Chains A and B, each alone.
Chain A
Amino acid sequence: MSECCCHDHDLDYRYQRLDEVIAQYKDMPGALIPVLHQAQLIFGYLSKDVQIRIAEGLGVPLSEVYGVVTFYSFFSLKPQGKYTIGVCLGTACYVKGAAALVEALEENLGIKVGDTTDDGMFTLSITRCLGACGLAPVLTIDEDVYGRLTPEKVPEILERYKNKR
């Protein structure tokens, strides 16, 4: 996400991109979910206003948009941090100690699962099986995958992202 001094301008630009996406997908059957994916990429989360814009743009009732957004765990109604941490709690990771990783992350970041740090850096979430079971336990930070983890390795990994700021 870019740091912009004048937020209104930034927001206008994002809505403009959303409108382009809606126009591009409008005539495709089953467009709602692909548009929601794109919208979440643009805004980071799906606010009420964004959902209204999509409902109007695609000619789908708002109730249906909201119904779909709340059905799928990938869509978020709350703003997300700059980086999203996903701890895999699939069976293989769980057996190999993923719960201890969650505890270590909660302690290090001072937040609970589902929350975002006050500085807006990290959102802590739980994911379904990532299919990297051979490397369990596993976590992801955005697109990066970290495997064979122990709670002791958590601070060092977080430090890399804190320093990227």
Chain B
Amino acid sequence: MMILRRKVEKMDLYRRQVLICGGTGCISTGCKGVLNEFVKEIKNHNLTEEVKVVETGCIGTCDLGPVLVIYPEGIFYQKVSVDDVKEIVEEHLVKGQYVKRLMYTPPTSSEPLPEYKDIPFFRHQLRIALRNVGLINPEVIEEYIARDGYTALEKAVTEMTPEQIVQVLKDSGLRGRGGAGFPTGLKWEFTMKAQSDEKYVICNADEGDPGAFMDRSVLEGDPHSVIEAMAIAGYTIGAKQGYVYVRAEYPLAVERLGQAIKAAKKMGFLGENIFGTDFSFDLEIRVGAGAFVCGEETALINSIEGRRGEPRPKPPFPATVGLWGKPTLINNVETFANIPIIILKGAEWFSQIGTSEKSKGTKVFALAGNINTTGLVEVPMGTTLRQVIFDLGGGIPNGKKFKAAQTGGPSGGCLT
């Protein structure tokens, strides 16, 4: 790890970094062209040595795309077109003067908010599952490592027993983020205790509920957090093989995850004898084929086995009879994304976030519909819907009255 660290420290030598959102939303509004123009203009102004352009995962404000943030100042620019790039380079990067007309202005004010951290959409967030999304280039594993990536896996396999890991998860109070909210530590414990020669880890990335794109953003913006967590899961329950089941509607997520798995194998974070231990673990992607029901875990297992994705009766639960009839741990993307940081920072840290009762940590929400700022946010459990809609989302367009919010996809309800 030391050698890796030294290699990644070099990245900070740039005077400025331009972080351009490369999520699906911004791609559809033309961020690739903006990125290419930046590279060109930076070269024209001989700034290649000083300014680094990074294509990140989803920054969150999909409706304002293409968006970008310039560090170290943390200036947020929205709806940037190819024609705006020259001005940003000449004014901001060369002269240090911000381009006011491309800044975000809250619907209730006429003064723009230049800094990313002051914008209500970001200010009220607490990003744990999305800790790296929008900050790193998901296609460069070194950037993940620079943000403590794979140190949780190292700690798990070299310093912790499976029982200790299960205890941390149980104490943290983390519950499944796929919808049912089952205590994650218990699920890991059941699968760990199941007796079998073979076991499997599955990541459920068949995010099918209309309106939801939380998991897509994690896979596109920080795929290594899921890979690292799955390897920790493999070590804990005693599995050598994992599968990520991604829906076919998310081609960019499939591509970035595939690329990340390859990079992790090359670095030795997946494969044989991880961190010089006896532990070996490998990952494969399985792409869905358009069936809503495959988000249900037993239907998903049938689909990985190459069959019609029809649910199986439960019990038996996957923890005892899962993939190919073997004990299987199946968690959602967002659940996995929480795990490496819990291993590093501990159960106590995590359990202090959220409500004092049963809901610990944070939750990612996708905002869509008639709301001023659509996109993706992560807030502590216990945050009210009012705060999410009016503080983060900026309220209803044209000052209209709130009528109803539909929460939780097709299985949720309309709240008025």
Contact = CB atoms under 8 A, between A and B. Distances in A.
B324 to A, nearest CB: 7
Nearest to A134: B62
B308 A90 contact: no
Interface stretch (A2-10, A70-78, A99-107, A111-119): A70-78
A87 interface: no
Among B208, B306, B374, the one with the most A-chain Cβ atoms within 10 Å of its Cβ is B306
A64 B309 CA distance: 12
A49 B357 CA distance: 59
B304 A128 contact: no
B286 interface: yes
Nearest to A138: B28
B286 A146 contact: no
A138 B287 CA distance: 22
A131 B218 CA distance: 12
B347 interface: no
Interface in B294-327: 303-310, 324
Given A91-B211, A91-B406, A127-B249, A134 B305 contact: no
Interface string B246-259: 00111100000000
B368 interface: yes
Nearest to A95: B369
A132 B213 CA distance: 7
Contacts of A71: 291, 308-310
Contacts of A95: 369-370
Contacts of A68: 306-308
Contacts of A92: 210-211, 368-369
Interface string B350-387: 00000000000000001111100011100000000000
Contacts of A74: 248, 288-290
B211 A90 contact: yes
B247 to A, nearest CB: 8
B65 to A, nearest CB: 8
Contacts of B410: 91
A18 interface: no
Contact size class for B? 35 or more
A82 interface: no
A133 B287 contact: no
A126 B217 CA distance: 23
Among B61, B213, B406, the one with the most A-chain Cβ atoms within 10 Å of its Cβ is B213
B212 A129 contact: yes
B209 interface: yes
A32 interface: yes
A42 to B, nearest CB: 16
Contacts of B207: 131
Nearest to B248: A74
Contact of A32 (B209, B291, B306): B306
Nearest to A70: B308
Contact of A72 (B62, B210, B213, B289): B289
Contact of B305 (A30, A145, A146): A30
A147 interface: yes
A163 B332 CA distance: 43
A68 B366 CA distance: 32
Contacts of A132: 24-25, 28, 62, 213
A114 to B, nearest CB: 14
Given A29-B305, A132-B213, A96 B369 contact: yes
B37 interface: no
A85 interface: no
Contacts of B308: 67-68, 71
A35 to B, nearest CB: 9
B289 A133 contact: no
Given A67-B308, A131-B207, A134-B63, A33 B289 contact: yes
A132 B368 CA distance: 9
A31 interface: yes
A79 B308 CA distance: 22
A34 B366 CA distance: 30
Contact of A73 (B28, B213, B291, B307): B291
Contacts of B208: 128-129
B219 to A, nearest CB: 10
Contacts of A135: 25, 28-29, 62-63, 65, 374
B295 to A, nearest CB: 11
Given A72-B309, A128-B249, A134 B367 contact: yes
Given A91-B410, A135-B29, A147-B28, 10 more contacts: A36-B289, A37-B248, A67-B308, A68-B307, A73-B289, A90-B211, A127-B249, A129-B210, A133-B62, A144-B28
24 contacts: A29-B306, A31-B306, A72-B309, A74-B289, A91-B210, A91-B410, A128-B208, A128-B210, A128-B292, A129-B208, A129-B212, A130-B249, A131-B24, A131-B250, A133-B210, A133-B213, A134-B62, A134-B366, A134-B367, A134-B368, A135-B28, A135-B29, A136-B368, A138-B28
Interface of A: 29-34, 36-37, 60, 64, 67-68, 71-75, 90-92, 95-96, 127-136, 138, 143-147
